[in-house]
Amino acid sequence: MQTNGVGLDDSYLETFRELDIRVGVSLDGAAESHDRHRRFASGRGSYAAVAAGLDKLTWPSFQHLFRGLLCTIDLRNDPIATYKALAEFDPPKVDFLLPHGTWATPPSGRVPGAIATPYADWLITVFDHWYPAPIPGVRLFEDIMDLLLGGASSGEMLGLSPSRTVFIETDGAIELADNLKAAYHGAAATGLHVSSDTFDAALLLPGVVARQLGVRSLSPQCRACRIHQVCGGGLYAHRYRPGTGFYNPSVYCPDLIKLIDHIREVMQADIDGRSGNRAVR
């Protein structure tokens, strides 16, 4: 379960422990960084409430339920300070999330088609700090490293693994990935409902089929790219452009190329260095 952490008290945690429900918490860094966007209706920031919930979640009796922290990147936040603020809660894993955006509604700081790579630069700063002592794990970095070594990703942001999820809304509607809502109104809708349809029915929907096709679902530009097996075209929602739908590279394409190439270079230098040391010995 992913939660904003507000109101995460003993009663909830006891229920989660009884049902063996794992809990991920959204936290965007230290108080100032987190409270810029995650506020109560009154305008008051939610950091203190989230931190209180995390303090309870990390008690020995509940710590096994803790799946990790999800942080949406804000370029205004210092990358190292943000990483350190997350690491203070000793999460088993950190997820850095690129803000949802498309070619029609690009994320802040990302100019579609521009060569500037603000999100790669932010993440590379974190990676270079994290790589010498990679605890806690950072899912984005670990997925890129696994894919570069011929493995598979653990989610849909990278790689060509088939999509394995649908989402159930509170009214029982069966929907595609909720991040598709960033593309256009109704992009995640399926017309299916838990009261009248099986989950298998979703397998026949074009939006699901498209995310089972691997490289065949990529645009010609992506298929011609040297890193398409790692990038996988980026998150499906981030490819959307009016007129061509999702048959495009990610709006984050330059950032993904720069980040993946940097991680490849660091890994290769590390491998070469270790090989050289063994040869000397």
66, containing H or E segment: strand 66-72
d(CA 131, CA 170): 40
- Tokens (6 digits) for 228: 């398409």
Cα separations in angstroms, 163 against 68, 132, 156, 246:
21, 32, 7, 15
pLDDT in tens, the chain (281 residues): 889 999 899 999 999 999 999 999 999 999 899 989 899 889 899 999 999 999 999 999 999 999 999 999 999 999 999 999 999 999 999 999 999 999 999 999 999 888 999 999 999 999 999 999 999 999 999 999 999 999 988 888 899 888 778 888 889 999 988 889 999 999 999 899 999 999 888 888 887 888 778 888 899 999 999 999 999 999 999 999 999 999 999 999 999 999 999 999 999 999 998 877 665 45
Query: What domains can be seen in the chain, in order of their start residue?
Result: 1-97 (no CATH), 120-130+139-281 (3.20.20.70)
Number of helices (H), then strands (E), in the chain: 10, 8
Coil vs helix vs strand at 177 = coil
